[in-house]
Amino acid sequence: MPRLNLDTDCWIPYAEVSWEEEGIKRIQLLSGPSDRFKVIDQAEVYAVEMATAWIDAEVMGKFHPLSDPAQAEPITARASIRRP
């Protein structure tokens, strides 16, 4: 969800990561640099990469190296670009 920064004439990448945990919907909002992307497509790609990196870091943080992988719950994630 990029937004145009009128001061810098650059697109700011925004991403919304949502998931359900124990029956509760969770949302994490992420934003990128405000002075780097002159082209909206570049901001969109950055937003997806930013969201993917955040998801990877969260997923890896939930697993202990000695935990039993057979008891781990399956995790699914998807990223998409939404245009207004």
- Give residue limits of the domains in the chain: 3-62
DSSP 3-state of 51: helix
Stated pTM of the model: 0.70
> Which of 8, 5, 7, 26 lies closest to 16 in space, CA to CA?
26
* Residue of 43 and 75 predicted with greater confidence: 43
List, for residues 39-64, the tens digit of each pLDDT value.
999 999 999 999 999 998 887 776 65
